[in-house]
């Protein structure tokens, strides 16, 4: 079954944001163009990925995981880029996490063979869709979440259609989002899995980020309570599935250190369990929500790798840059830049001006005179300090907050080398 055409059979054109006035350029030939966003070679706005920073984030986090005794299945929902998912797995990731059947189909069609579906799939109709998908990939190792007997029934239907005899189910418990809320719901879910002929208990799962609030102390208490429930649920699953290797899955990009400290001793005491994180956004980092999260992590303990403490705030480097041109200086103190809500995330903070270029030359100190005050659909309103030398035609590099809701606005991310030159096109597959 073929779900997707291959990206390298496609050609770039002006229908893709960021691509200049060229039609029919082969995707694999983009690096030979030597385009530089700072020089104005791209059709702005454009979103770029600093490959050096992405690789540094990858290596730092995988080193921390190895030291901490955990595995990671990076969440593909952040970039939905098969190429980046493949690169993380090749570097040592356990596999890949997805959040929906569509995302699973994309990753399977691009060769991934170990997936964690970190979400309930819905009812029997969704179960039939999952079954049809899995029947096309009999060699895939697949794990899915369930938090109720109804969710289990949908997965049983998927296993039946796919002809699977042992589809792995992780019992999800939660706070604030999906997940069983009490022991009775957990026990009902476990019983439903045991009663299904084609399902097996694969472990437990939760998501601590859904328990977070604006109050740090309250967040710590809520996560601690959720970890206690996770440990209790793991004991119930282990009793129901003696002798099976099990997964304990948690850990986004903000509190992975806390869940690791809570869950690794449980896995070690069990002797046949793996703590599996699902962090995804931290490979991209940012200038907003994750910059703040890494600063909080440093206040807790930092990244301890083989006994040495490292700063998360300094170690994780923002890898995404949004490039836009100044379109107008209509009045003193105001500039209009050519990007907006269609191009940038704004749910966790507005973009931050980082650097200004004029004719390809960096203008020292100019970005510090600017701030983004609001966005329209395709315009950014910049407040400029009195006397700011910002001019029409200047190109501004912006940092973003929250990679997940920025990347999903782009069909193509353009990768940059250490010199700021485009090396390749990375397609996204958000559907």
3-state secondary structure the chain: CCCCCCHHHCEECCCCCECCCCCCEEHHHHHHHCCCHHHCCCECCEEEEEHHHHHHHHHHHHHHHHHHCCEECCECCCCCCHHHHHHHHHHCCCCEEECCHHHHHHHHHCCCCEEEECCCCCCHHHHHHHHHHHHCCCCCEEEEEECCHHHHHHHHHHHHHHCCCCEEEEEEECCCCCCECCHHHHHHHHHHHHHCCCEEEEEEECCHHHHCCCCHHHHHHHHHHHHHHHHHHHHHHHHHCCCCCEEEECCCCCCHHHHHHHHHHHHHHHCCEEEEECCCHHHCCCCCHHHHHHHHHHHHCCEEECCEEECHHHHCCCCEEEEEEEEEEEECCEEEECCCCCCCCCCCCCCEEEEEEECCEECCCCHHHEEEEEECCCCEEEEECCCCCCCCCCEEEEECCCCHHHHCCCCEEEEECCCCCEEEEEECCCC
Helix axes 183-195, 149-162, angle to 10 degrees: 20
The pLDDT score that the predictor gives to residue 5 is 42
Q: Give the global pTM.
A: 0.95
Exposed / middle / buried, residue 260 (Cβ in 10 Å: 0-12, 13-18, 19+): buried
Exposed / middle / buried, residue 430 (Cβ in 10 Å: 0-12, 13-18, 19+): middle
Residue 131 CA: distances (Å) to CA of 105, 115, 163, 193, 293? 12, 15, 8, 17, 38
The span from the CA of 190 to the CA of 241, in Å, is: 10
The pLDDT score that the predictor gives to residue 279 is 98
- Asked if 351 and 322 count as a contact pair (C-beta separation under 8 A), the reply is yes
The span from the CA of 84 to the CA of 50, in Å, is: 13
The pLDDT score that the predictor gives to residue 15 is 82
The span from the CA of 410 to the CA of 79, in Å, is: 9
Sign of the torsion formed by the C-alpha atoms of 33, 89, 303 and 288:
positive
Angle at 191 between CA 190 and CA 193, to 5 degrees: 65
- Within a 13 Å sphere around the CA of 1, how many CA atoms are in the beta-carbon half? 13
Sign of the torsion formed by the C-alpha atoms of 292, 255, 285 and 309:
positive
The pLDDT score that the predictor gives to residue 25 is 77
The pLDDT score that the predictor gives to residue 29 is 84
pLDDT along the chain (431 residues), means of 10: 46 83 77 94 97 98 98 97 97 98 97 97 98 97 98 98 97 95 98 98 97 94 98 98 97 97 98 98 98 97 96 98 98 97 97 97 97 98 96 98 96 96 94 75
Residue 52's CB is within 10 A of a number of other CB atoms, namely: 13
Q: Which residue in this structure is represented by tokens 């996770």?
A: 230
Residue 387 CA: distances (Å) to CA of 334, 358, 361, 367, 426? 11, 17, 20, 13, 40
The pLDDT score that the predictor gives to residue 3 is 40
- Asked if 253 and 286 count as a contact pair (C-beta separation under 8 A), the reply is no
The span from the CA of 147 to the CA of 170, in Å, is: 9
Sign of the torsion formed by the C-alpha atoms of 57, 59, 63 and 65:
positive
Angle at 230 between CA 188 and CA 73, to 5 degrees: 105
């Amino acid at each position: 079954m073929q779900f997707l055409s291959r990206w390298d059979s496609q050609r770039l054109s002006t229908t893709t944001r960021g691509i200049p006035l060229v039609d029919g350029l082969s995707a694999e030939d983009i690096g030979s163009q030597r385009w530089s966003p700072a020089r104005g070679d791209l059709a702005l706005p454009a979103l770029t990925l600093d490959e050096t920073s992405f690789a540094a984030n990858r290596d730092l986090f995988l080193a921390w995981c190895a030291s901490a005794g955990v595995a990671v299945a990076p969440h593909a929902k952040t970039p939905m880029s098969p190429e980046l998912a493949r690169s993380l797995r090749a570097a040592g990731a356990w596999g890949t996490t997805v959040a929906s059947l569509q995302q699973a189909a994309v990753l399977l069609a691009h060769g991934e063979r170990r997936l964690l579906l970190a979400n309930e799939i819905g009812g029997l109709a969704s179960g039939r869709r999952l079954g049809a998908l899995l029947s096309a990939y009999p060699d895939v190792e697949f794990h899915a979440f369930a938090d109720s007997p109804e969710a289990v029934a949908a997965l049983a239907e998927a296993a039946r259609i796919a002809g699977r005899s042992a589809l792995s189910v992780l019992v999800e418990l939660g706070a604030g989002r999906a997940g069983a809320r009490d022991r009775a719901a957990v026990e009902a879910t476990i019983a439903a899995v045991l009663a299904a002929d084609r399902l097996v208990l694969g472990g437990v799962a939760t998501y601590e980020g859904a328990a977070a609030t604006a109050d740090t102390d309250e967040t710590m208490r809520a996560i601690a309570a959720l970890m206690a429930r996770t440990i209790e649920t793991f004991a119930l699953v282990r009793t129901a599935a003696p002798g099976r290797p099990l997964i304990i899955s948690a850990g986004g990009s903000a509190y992975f250190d806390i869940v690791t400290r809570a869950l690794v001793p449980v896995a070690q005491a069990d002797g046949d369990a793996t703590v599996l994180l699902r962090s995804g956004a931290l490979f991209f980092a940012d200038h907003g929500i994750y910059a703040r999260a890494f600063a909080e992590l440093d206040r807790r303990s930092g990244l301890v790798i083989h006994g040495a403490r490292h700063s998360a705030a300094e170690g994780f480097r923002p890898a995404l840059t949004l490039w836009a041109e100044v379109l107008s200086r209509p009045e003193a103190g105001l500039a209009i830049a050519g990007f907006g809500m269609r191009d940038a995330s704004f749910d966790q903070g507005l973009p931050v001006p980082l650097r200004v270029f004029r004719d390809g030359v960096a203008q020292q100190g100019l970005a510090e005179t600017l701030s983004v005050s609001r966005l329209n659909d395709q315009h950014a309103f910049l407040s400029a300090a009195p006397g700011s030398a910002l001019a029409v035609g200047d190109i501004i590099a912006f940092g973003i907050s929250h990679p997940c809701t920025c990347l999903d606005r782009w069909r193509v991310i353009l990768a940059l080398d250490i010199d700021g030159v485009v090396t390749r096109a990375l397609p996204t597959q958000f559907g």
